[in-house]
């Protein structure tokens, strides 16, 4: 079942790669034709001897450019094949027995660690009953350690709030 799915996937990938290759060759032929038209126009404007030298020089450049494009295309295809091989290797490694299990366990541990860190740091303020409570231990793991309120601080915070509430507010100039 999995082999059929992979075979279908890579068959489709090869079809897409073929289409891309055909489009690239079509564009390459269009560029070559455009450059050939440019060469033809230049040849008509110059003398026959000069035009022959110019055409030969342009043709050499065009052939070198075509060879370079073909080499690039081969290199791209080689890289694509290497990537495809790596993808097969990675899929078989993850799908195999113990390595797949280790990969799955590592993913679960990472997810739970990140979730735990988010849950610990999510509330803006914590109110703990005592310094020996579990709440205070969780407070020690927070990124922002200034956001805990202990029982002895509650009275001070309420008194400061009442004091600030009764003060008249100053207006800006």
**pLDDT above 90 for 112:** yes
Show the 3-state SS of the chain.
Answer: CHHHHHHHHHHHHHHHHHHHHHHHHHHHHHHHHHHHHHHHHHHHHCCHHHHHHHHHHHHHHHHHHHHHHHHHHHHHHHHHHHHHHHHHHHHHHHHCHHHHHHHHHHHHHHHHHHHHHHHHHCCCCEECCCCCCHHHHHHHCCCCCCCEECHHHHHHHHHHHHHHHHCCCCCCC
- Residue 139: CB atoms within 10 Å: 19
pLDDT of residue 69: 92
**pLDDT above 90 for 110:** yes
Domain positions in the chain are 2-95, 117-166
Q: Say if residues 74 and 44 touch (Cβ distance below 8 Å).
A: no
**pLDDT above 70 for 20:** yes
Q: For the chain, what's the residue count? A: 173
pLDDT of residue 50: 74
Phi, psi of 130 (to 5 degrees): -160, 160
**155 confidence band (pLDDT: 50, 70, 90):** confident
* Residues 115-127, mean pLDDT to the nearest whole number: 71
The span from the CA of 79 to the CA of 17, in Å, is: 13
Maximum Cα interatomic distance, the chain, rounded to a whole number of Å? 102
Contacts of 77-83 with C-beta under 8 Å, sequence gap 24+, read 77/17, 80/17
The span from the CA of 126 to the CA of 154, in Å, is: 12
* Residues 109-138, mean pLDDT to the nearest whole number: 75
pLDDT of residue 70: 92
**pLDDT above 60 for 172:** no
Nearest to 145 by CA among 108, 112, 118, 120: 120
**pLDDT above 80 for 96:** no
Q: Which residue has the higher pLDDT, 110 or 38?
A: 110
């Amino acid at each position: 079942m999995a082999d059929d799915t992979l075979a279908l996937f890579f068959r489709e990938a090869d079809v897409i790669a073929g289409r891309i290759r055909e489009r690239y060759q079509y564009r390459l032929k269009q560029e070559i034709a455009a450059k050939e038209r440019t060469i033809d126009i230049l040849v008509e404007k110059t003398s026959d001897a000069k035009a022959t030298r110019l055409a030969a020089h342009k043709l050499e450049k065009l052939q070198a450019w075509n060879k370079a494009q073909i080499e690039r295309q081969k290199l791209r295809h080689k890289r694509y094949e290497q990537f495809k091989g790596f993808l097969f290797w990675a899929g078989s490694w993850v799908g195999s027995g113990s390595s797949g299990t280790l990969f799955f366990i590592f993913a679960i541990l990472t997810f739970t660690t990140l979730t735990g860190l988010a849950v610990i740091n999510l509330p803006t303020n914590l109110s703990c009953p005592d310094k020996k409570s579990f709440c205070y231990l969780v407070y020690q793991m927070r990124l922002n350690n200034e956001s805990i309120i202990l029982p002895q601080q509650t009275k001070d915070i309420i008194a400061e709030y009442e004091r600030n509430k009764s003060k008249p507010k100053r207006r800006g100039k």
